[in-house]
Chains A and B, each alone.
Chain A
Amino acid sequence: MSNTAITPPERADITRFFPVKTVMALRRNRFLSNSKMIGALLILAPLGLLILCAPLLPLQAPLQTNLMAMMQPPSLEHPFGTDRMGRDIFSRTLEGVKISLQVGLSVAALALVVGMLLGTLAGFFGGLIDRAIMVIVDIFMAFPSLLLAIGLIAVMGTGLVPVVMAIAIADIPRFIRLQRSLVLGLRTRAYIDAARTVHASQFWLMSRHIVPNSLAPMLVAASISAANAILVEASLSFLGLGIMPPAPSLGNLIREGQLYMEQAWWISTLPGVVILLIAISFHFLSDGMRQALDPRSRK
């Protein structure tokens, strides 16, 4: 009888009984059900929105001076008050956050790429390459990180690009070490041996097996590095060795306010609160990423 012929069940029917989820869906769920990730998003999303909408808001431009409104305490018109030249601290802070995020993300990306490249080479090939890379890493790690960045600034000069380069160079040795230790762990895995037995090339092994499998912990390290870079940039700018005025960065805003702490507490303290918020959100982000990306962690 033709009308009772057995038809294969639709895919939807299978998933009704056996809830099959793709890996990506699992990851997405882990990201979105993670309270720390949500915390980070709750700080970063409004901040990002504010930066994007800053030109549309009724704010004074970051560099616009107004001699009629100098050193004004926080008010509705100037949420963070004004400085000694009547510039609006709130719009300057937003501009500073933009620079902070640029620095944080570029340093993390740069350190991640260079660190993974050199770390993979050192760990995978061993021998002389490994020795040479690690000796150089040790030499760079002999300097406390902020000090190394300061020294590099002394050589390269101030400004956005030198600051990013200096912080990244100070951070890369740590990435090389981490990647190298990950590669040493992965190198002896059975699936690497399996790939070798079918004559996979060295490049194939590194690009298809080693790098993807070490990516998760490295991404976590990169998010910590971004938070760290934001703090280092602020420190450098605060010391007068980072982003130079009149361009506002969170660090040099605080530096400018330092002289007027007694008369105008808001110039330094409020941008500092913003740095703290950004640092906390990146910290949450890295914690959340660690939990979401680690396949062994179960909630």
Chain B
Amino acid sequence: MLAYSLKKLLQLVVTTIGVVMLVFFAMRLIPGDAAAAMAGDTLSGAALERLRDQMGLNDPLLVQFWNFVRGLLVLDFGRTLTTNLPVSDLIRSAAPITLLIAIATIILAIAIAIPLGTVAAFMAHKGHKTLDNLITGLAMIIDLMPSFWTALVFLLIFSLTLGWFPASGPISWDDPYSIVMRLALPILVLSLSQVAILARMTRTAVLEVLSEDYVRTARAMGWSELRVLFRHALKNAALPIVTVVGLSFGNLLNGTIIVEAIFTIPGVGTVLINGINSRDYQLVQVLMIFYALLFVFINFATDILYRALDPRVKF
């Protein structure tokens, strides 16, 4: 287990270095440079050159890279080009909101999808095709609905027509009620597609396990169907489900960018889109790295968890 974890950790480190290099050098490929892009038509000649000096763009590329990496290591991400705010402050205020949305979505999706998928598998196993087909068909359609469209339809129905949730308004940590009301719809929208993916995976995994010998044995011992289903079958189907939760985390991060834009939530996604629109490359490169590292770390954790959960894997 330790050897495996170390190997994965080494891979994590290599990938991290790669991500930082890719983002840094890709940002240098931008036609013109960050200074020109930032200044637009407002500066020219000597003024632009002064700005370049100020931003360190005239240093050798490797020196620039070293300064960038050193900044990342001590969590000093520099200042935004347009508003001159510390990037770390922006992340500190935006990240908790995005993470809250992501975590709440995962919990909600698991709570709905696993019973739903298990029931679908049970129905398929017993030959009751109608309910199973209904659940799998719905899951497919929901999975294919573009999340920004679902979000707009929800906004139209629940905020604008029914008025249950506010469509805009401040989000303050001192006011938990406002957080719940503002984040409820985005979390609901995001969990829909997660439920669709997870329920289908759960159905497949449980259906496979249901024809195993130990399930038949459990039945023969006279356990109730419910106990067999949830204690014996679901427990053994848990492994592929864990993997899918981890893998769909990337999807989830993609989704947060979109729902934040629609519900005007000041999360990391909104900061990123604003950064791109105002050509604030300092901000954009740090946020790209933030997202990538979050994703890579979740994948790492999923890998380790999978190994830890499976008693059959020998080391």
Question: A268 CA to B160 CA in the complex, in Å?
Answer: 14
Asked if B148 contacts A235 (CB within 8 A), the reply is: yes
Q: Does B226 contact A (CB under 8 A)?
A: no
Residues 272-312 of B contacting A (Cβ, < 8 Å): 272-273, 276-277, 281, 284, 288, 291-293, 295-296
Residues of A within 8 Å of B160, CB to CB, are 261-262
Residues 256-277 of A contacting B (Cβ, < 8 Å): 257-258, 261-262, 265, 268-269, 272, 275-276
Minimal Cβ-Cβ distance residue in B for A258? B152
Asked if B291 contacts A143 (CB within 8 A), the reply is: yes
The answer to whether A144 and B146 touch (CB under 8 A), given A139-B18, A155-B30, A280-B141, is no
Residues 247-295 of B contacting A (Cβ, < 8 Å): 250-251, 253-254, 257-258, 261-262, 272-273, 276-277, 281, 284, 288, 291-293, 295
- Say how far B149's CB is from chain A's closest CB, in angstroms: 4
Question: A150 CA to B250 CA in the complex, in Å?
Answer: 14
Asked if A150 contacts B149 (CB within 8 A), the reply is: no
Minimal Cβ-Cβ distance residue in B for A153? B276
Q: Does A138 contact B (CB under 8 A)?
A: yes
The answer to whether A254 and B18 touch (CB under 8 A), given A144-B253, A151-B23, A279-B146, is no
Question: A133 CA to B245 CA in the complex, in Å?
Answer: 27
Which single member of A136, A138, A227, A239 contacts B258 (CB below 8 Å)? A239
Asked if B284 contacts A275 (CB within 8 A), the reply is: no
Q: Does A195 contact B (CB under 8 A)?
A: no
Question: A240 CA to B257 CA in the complex, in Å?
Answer: 13
Residues of A within 8 Å of B253, CB to CB, are 144, 147
- Say how far A259's CB is from chain B's closest CB, in angstroms: 11
Q: Does B1 contact A (CB under 8 A)?
A: no
Asked if A143 contacts B258 (CB within 8 A), the reply is: no
Which single member of B27, B153, B261, B272 contacts A155 (CB below 8 Å)? B27
Asked if B296 contacts A272 (CB within 8 A), the reply is: no
Question: A261 CA to B276 CA in the complex, in Å?
Answer: 26
Question: A283 CA to B145 CA in the complex, in Å?
Answer: 12
Q: Does A145 contact B (CB under 8 A)?
A: yes
Question: A269 CA to B150 CA in the complex, in Å?
Answer: 9
Please report whether the interface of chain B is mostly helix, strand, loop or mixed according to DSSP.
helix
Q: Does A90 contact B (CB under 8 A)?
A: no
Residues of A within 8 Å of B27, CB to CB, are 155
Asked if A142 contacts B149 (CB within 8 A), the reply is: no
Which single member of B144, B148, B292 contacts A280 (CB below 8 Å)? B144
Which residue of A142, A145, A251 has the most chain B CB atoms within 10 A of its CB atom? A142
- Say how far A137's CB is from chain B's closest CB, in angstroms: 10
Asked if A276 contacts B23 (CB within 8 A), the reply is: no
Asked if A265 contacts B156 (CB within 8 A), the reply is: yes
- Say how far B63's CB is from chain A's closest CB, in angstroms: 22
State the A residues within 8 Å of B (CB).
135-136, 138-140, 142-147, 150-155, 157, 227, 231, 234-235, 238-241, 251, 254, 257-258, 261-262, 265, 268-269, 272, 275-276, 279-280, 283
User: 24 A–B contact pairs at CB < 8 A?
Assistant: A138-B11, A139-B22, A142-B15, A143-B292, A144-B254, A147-B254, A150-B272, A151-B26, A154-B284, A155-B29, A231-B144, A234-B146, A234-B148, A238-B148, A241-B276, A258-B152, A258-B262, A261-B155, A262-B156, A262-B160, A268-B152, A269-B152, A269-B153, A276-B149
Extra inter-chain contacts (16) besides given A139-B22, A154-B284, CB under 8 Å = A136-B18, A142-B293, A142-B295, A144-B250, A144-B291, A150-B272, A151-B288, A155-B27, A155-B30, A231-B146, A235-B148, A238-B261, A254-B149, A261-B160, A279-B144, A280-B144
Leading 9 A-B pairs by shortest Cβ distance: A272-B149, A139-B18, A146-B254, A144-B250, A279-B144, A144-B253, A142-B292, A154-B276, A142-B296
